[in-house]
Amino acid sequence: MGGKHQMKYLIPIMVILLLVSTSFVGVSYDIENSKNTSSNGKTLYVGGSGPGNYTKIQDAIDDASDGDTVFIYSGTYVENLIVHKSINLIGEDRESTIIDGNQAEDVVYFGTGADWVNITGFTIRNGTSGLWIVKSHCTISKNIIMNNQGRGISLLYAQGCNITYNTINNNGGAGICEHWGGYNNYLSNTFKNNTGDAISLYFLIGNNVFNNTINECQTGISLYEASNCLIVENIIKNSSYCGIGLSYSSCGNKINGNNITNSSIAAGILIGGFVGGISKYNIITNNTISSNNWSGILLEITTNQNIIEGNTVFNNENFGVAIWNSDNNHVTGNAVFSNALGGVYLIENSNYNNISGNNIYDNIYYGGIFLMEVSNNNLIHLNHITNNTIGINISESSNNKIINNNFINNRNVLFSSCRNQWHGNFWSKPLMLPKLIFGKYVIGPFVIPWVNFDWHPAKEPYDIGV
């Protein structure tokens, strides 16, 4: 008895410690133990050969009461269902229990009174949308949702829903699209070849998007004025636009442990853009981002005060990490390598950013770090910058501090028309005298050779620990 009593409290304590150690305190949802409405209800049967079984699912729903279960045997049911009670709909087998909307309306619509509905074990197909949910605390699990004209699942004003272990493919819009809700959980779903985004979240707060596999959608996960969401350990590949996109003042989101590859147009992770709003206080950590046709991570147009930390960013066709017209961001502890245009890029009035503790190597064309077009007052500190075509290239950007970095085996260091502070950097070998850094000033048609100095270069490389 004492051992059981101890175990009762030991397991919650271990879970809490795990959440604290990964900085995700506040992730409090329990998919397997969500409310089950069937605990005290009766079971109604549809299909099969039993006496008194219903032939139509809607008839069984109409005759059910809150807390009942409607069990549907395998077969194809051409219906457009309206669920208006707190019941369970359970299919015998998700491959062979098919609800077909006949392209007439939504296949399943959750109407008045449809909180706490559980739906599992179906193929849901050929509707204008697969499911339309306007109620809360619903669980949609282990279904196939496919070939709908629009979205696979639409949610409006819904909260506390669990969308888990579904296969959502070949829909004409987004796989899942949610407006004006929040605190919903999207866990371990598989998305493929949806015309829109796999998951689109609009004007909401507090969603959890964990461990989904997304392939060949427009954007893997998109947030529009959505805040305080967790986007964790998703696999996103072959997006036609970008892997994860945040815009319209999406703030305070945590993007952790995702694997994003082969986005066709934009970045692996894109925050901001030309759509307005200021997306800030987002934390992008421990993601693996590779082989995207633009940059790995792009902060664009007044995307301020974000943290990019501990990511592995490589083999992207543009830059590894790019910051455009955005201020006060922290880029720390990342591995940025083998990107085609360069490692870290600050452009067009990107000011007061902190680029520190990164391992930046084997980047091509513009090299390790590139600042241009009046990107001023940035701190470049304690980075390990090695084997790039250019270690650092600074153009028309002044008052930056380049301090205590390792510049090793880079072909060159360049500056143009700017004045910056260089101090205590290591330059491939110990130097007894100040390091001369050659550049130029361009004044109208005149190009004037110029020199900056690192007056106190380091005698040995810094142990940066990346």
* Residue-range definition of the domain harbouring residue 67: 31-218
Evaluate whether residue 278 is within a structural domain.
Answer: no
Identify whether 208 is part of a domain.
yes
Residue 39's CATH number? 2.160.20.10
**Structural contact between residues 195 and 169, judged by C-beta atoms closer than 8 angstroms:** no
Burial 418-451 (b: 16+ CB within 10 A, else e): bebebbbbbbeeebeeebebebbeeeeeeeeebe
Residue 57 domain-assigned (yes or no): yes
Structural domains counted in the chain: 1
Query: Are 442 and 421 in contact, with CB atoms under 8 Å apart?
Result: no
d(CA 458, CA 82): 72
Considering the domain boundaries, does residue 198 fall inside one? yes
pTM, two decimals, is: 0.90
Q: What is the pLDDT of residue 40?
A: 74
Is residue 365, in this structure, part of any structural domain at all?
Answer: no
For residue 25, CA distances in Å to 19, 229, 292, 347, 438 come to 5, 12, 31, 35, 49
Quick check: is 206 in a domain?
A: yes
Residue 443, pLDDT score: 87
Q: State the Cα–Cα distance between residues 180 and 439, nearest whole angstrom.
A: 53
Question: How many residues are given for the chain?
Answer: 466
> Tokens in use for 311?
């990511």
pLDDT at residue 111, rounded to an integer: 83
pLDDT of 164 reads: 98
**What's residue 45's pLDDT?**
98
Spans of the chain below 50 pLDDT: 1-36, 38
* Inside any domain, residue 427: no
**70 within some domain:** yes
